[in-house]
Amino acid sequence: MHQRKLGPFTVSAIGLGCMNLSHAYGTPPPAEQGEKVLRAALDAGVTLFDTAALYGFGSNEKLVGPVLKSRRGEITLCSKGGMAGVTGDDGAMKRVIDGRPEAIVRNCEDSLRRLQTDVIDLYYLHRWDKKVPIEDSVGAMSRLVEQGKVRTIGLSEVSAPTIRKAHRVHPLTAVQTEYSLWTRNPEIAVIDACRELGIAFVAFSPVARGFLCDAVPDVATLDAKDIRKSMPRFAPEHHARNLKLLPPYRALAREAGCTPAQLALAWLLHKGGDILPIPGTTSVEHLREDLAAADVKLDAGLVARLEDLVNERTVSGNRYGEQANREVDTETFPA
């Protein structure tokens, strides 16, 4: 497995985003299947694992922790707080963004217990709670570092100005944001800010939520609980336009000698040695396909044609709906 630096850690160039095993894309697979994927990742040399308190309202951390426990010293374990599930008045769990210091401390302690570990290697603020100054949230995270509960800290879905404010309070190891051929927002300012400050960039949803795997031909087949149901790019009218990108995209993958998913991941790896994609999957077969992308070589001409084909101008629809757009702090391209 190729290696890259993530702050003080040396990790596999491609990590594993664990969310799919418990959350977001319809009914999750049985726990046994999730454990199988995690063990296959370990055996294949993956050393970067990403989870969060939110995923499955804690169930993802409960799944990940026991499996990784026996190999804890070999891996870099990442989780996130500041956005978690709470029990509402009706008894149902709901998602809440809460960046108050006391909430971050509580989230971290809950995550440590579920993950069955004494320390989290990289702890992210999952969302900036805009009711709380970023300096206050990061200050609480810095105290977790001082207490030995967290080794390093990062932010998720934030803008370049927020990164700079946070970094002045405590050095950030990583910023995590959606980044793929069809979501290029980090190229506006965030990647430049990270490079200026020596912060690694972790790319989630690197295969465009399955679209660049050529895996979503019919949005009508998506599970009712699938988060893509609320994403404009998967609305029927936008999805129909976006599907027109796939035939020439497949042709470029064939030219590169790889699968569509591998092409998306290889493109990210070619964007810089400080970029670490964390694709997720519920399939051991797809996991192995994703990891093989680290060996795909792309020449400059093919990269140029690829970027000309799939970009913020050619993709139809926003990446998030109205509510999610209000919750994140990322820069956006002009309409």
Q: What are the angstrom distances between the C-alpha of 169 and each of 153, 154, 179, 266?
A: 11, 12, 26, 34
User: Residue 300's Cα: distance from chain center in Å?
Assistant: 26
Sign of the four-CA dihedral 70, 72, 74, 77: positive
Secondary structure letter of residue 171 according to DSSP: -
Distance separating alpha carbons of residues 115 and 68, to the nearest angstrom:
9
Instruction: Tell me whether residue 179 is one of the annotated catalytic residues.
Output: no
Distance separating alpha carbons of residues 316 and 234, to the nearest angstrom:
9
- The CA-based dihedral angle spanning residues 12, 17, 18, 23, taken in that order and rounded to the nearest 10 degrees: 180
- State the angle between helix axes of 284-291 and 260-270 in degrees (0 to 180), rounded to the nearest 10: 40
Distance separating alpha carbons of residues 122 and 145, to the nearest angstrom:
10
Distance separating alpha carbons of residues 171 and 20, to the nearest angstrom:
30
Which of these is catalytic: 25, 55, 179, 249?
55
Which stretch of DSSP H or E encloses residue 276?
strand 275-277
Q: Which residues are catalytic?
A: 55
